[in-house]
Structure 1
Amino acid sequence: MGGVCIVDLISVSALVSLLSKIFNSTTEKAGEQLWQSLTAVVRRLFGRNTTSVEAVKRLGERPGDPDAIRALAQALVDDAGRDPQAAAQLRHWVLAAERTIAADGAVSGEVSGNVTF
């Protein structure tokens, strides 16, 4: 992807919208599976001591909280902006999550608790 930055591909507002949809998913199971997959992806991509991992923990403690959602979205953009490979993998997760949500909450095989790229 050369000089393309995650900020060019995923905006904070787009992530806020996606995360809000996950917590307001039409089916509880779909939202839960998307959340679990995001948690796994963030830990794998960014390690344990990053802003994104801390933001995931906060949102997990306050599910659906708008401030926690926004903080996670900003952390993901910031952390991914420092690692182009992680940015590409995060973008892949975002696209899969958007497809899952677009399918009216039906969970596809693409997004699960053990997402691998």
Structure 2
Amino acid sequence: MDPSIVPTLAAVISAIIGGAAGEAGKGAWTSLTTLVRRRFGDDDTVTAAIERAETRPVEETAQIIANYATDDPAFAEELRRWSAESARLVQSKHDVSNTISGDARITGPVLQTGDVFGSINLGNP
């Protein structure tokens, strides 16, 4: 399996677990857990990775899933498909749009952003 899938998979899982994808993200998470359990339901390591995804680093969960995909080309293809579809879903839920119209008077900066981790400083108070 292409190792570049791990960061994509981790980002998608993180967005879904973090609630960024909303209701559609819940559906994507359900489809991933179904995919993993259908293929590896009898393997405690991979099913535990899914079950504990919210309490461990997402990169670790993504790596465990990707490791299994390395040895199973059919699963790898399903995982690639899921990642691509889910990445588009998560990306579409992050679109941000501001509209300033009518009699609005702007006297300072206008900031448009998606997720912010940390502070935003627009200058001196």
Q: Given the two structures, how large is their TM-score scaled by the length of structure 2? A: 0.64
Q: 1:98, 1:14 → 2: CA distance?
A: 7
Which of the two has greater helix per residue? 1
Instruction: Give the residue type in structure 1 aligned to 2:17.
Output: F
Aligned to 2:77: 88
Aligned to 1:56: 50
Aligned to 1:99: 88
Q: 1:15, 1:37 → 2: CA distance?
A: 14
Aligned counterpart for 1:26 among listed residues 20, 23, 31: 20
Aligned counterpart for 2:30 among listed residues 19, 22, 36: 36
Unaligned segments of structure 2, at least 5 residues: 95-125
Q: 2:39, 2:4 → 1: CA distance?
A: 17
Q: 1:27, 1:86 → 2: CA distance?
A: 24
Aligned counterpart for 1:73 among listed residues 55, 62, 66: 62
The Cα offsets for residues 43-89 of structure 1, whole Å up to 9 and x where unpaired, read as 11223215321200112xxx2x452x222101111000011111011
Describe the SS at the equivalent of 1:7: coil
The Cα offsets for residues 18-43 of structure 1, whole Å up to 9 and x where unpaired, read as 11111223353122222111110111
TM superposition shift of 1:13 = 2.2
Work out the number of aligned pairs and report it: 94
Contact 2:21 2:89 in 1 (8 A): no
Unaligned segments of structure 1, at least 5 residues: 1-5, 106-117
Q: Given the two structures, how large is their TM-score scaled by the length of structure 1? A: 0.68
Greater relative contact order (CA < 8 Å, ≥ 6 in sequence): 1
Larger radius of gyration, structure 1 or 2?
Answer: 2
